[in-house]
Chains A and B, each alone.
Chain A
């Protein structure tokens, strides 16, 4: 049976000691609030980083040609290594685990791009068709570069959403001709990308077209490929296989890291996972600290509050309050304060996170902050339990004091 009378008595006494009630409530609410913010921020960072990473296939290896740093086969150091289309074909033939592969031909700087009277400058990337899968570009209209484009060195372009927006506004870009540094390209498709923001203002053209138009011969600056089995061991094995292949083809030492740089994204992914684990660990340590501080705060206040009320307890006992009544009143008081303020801290914290998630500007390193509700609720319950215990023990002591002693207290 719910004893409304008893609750009224408790609410009365809470209202009387406003400062005490407020201090207790604040220490609980603040603890929970900080915990929620902390968990939310940690998750936001994690989501942001994970999202950037998701954009680049985590089972990929990237090769960059450089300059030799070791003398080899009669050549001196500092020789420039250059990849070409034949290296690309050789790679495809010798590494059977390759899933997708693309070259990139660098076009230096930004290009002035024009459609009608709209002029702007964007990055232009010259690639193979598979680039779509390696960069995880999402085709929103038309198509991406295909093999025929490559063979016929077609002057076609695929545009990112920001390019479309700035050049075409709300018009349909498909089939229109755009002018890139004086050369005309037909738009065959548009894409979007949910990784780095800068991906959204890219223009893709066939690699062979770029090699022809911008005087690259057969040259490729960067080769990217993905492998089926993305275990770090396989990736490392393939990395050394590729190293052997390329060093043989270009006469550099297989262990010359400078002649060909390899970015092994499988290993990077492993490191990022390690970083996440580190962030999580840190969040837990700080979170537990926050909760402990809250517990200490609540315990202190309850202890002081019971001591402060010794006289009141004495009077109540003289009037017929049993020890159990006294203890239960103080415990229910503690329960009421901690649960209401814990709930409040939780709600406000989740609200702030929700606001940040909704209104904060888009950022590559922070997105979708969220707090694990189970953890937050568990922490709140823990704080409530501790608050109740913190009320219970001193209350039991106070209720045991002889009423004469208690009445004498000031």
Chain B
């Protein structure tokens, strides 16, 4: 069973239907390819556990908090502002028009 964790991300998120999961696994999903062209990071997982809910986060991974990962994450305001601006630009370059957000997502044990 995977250990629970919490993903801290700045960017945009999409829910992906189960039928497209294989494309994510093989790293050929259109969203992944689009993100890659702008050097954006991504993180995708089943955030629903037994009730599957696949989501992909695109932008900048700030931290993964949990027993198998980090226990804390610290960023200064100036670094945060610079990162926000950088991600906004990259998202626009890649053709993502959604408003980026600070995403804190719990990933259940699975």
A and B interact physically? no
Which residues does A use to contact B, with CB under 8 Å?
Answer: none
Which residues does B use to contact A, with CB under 8 Å?
Answer: none
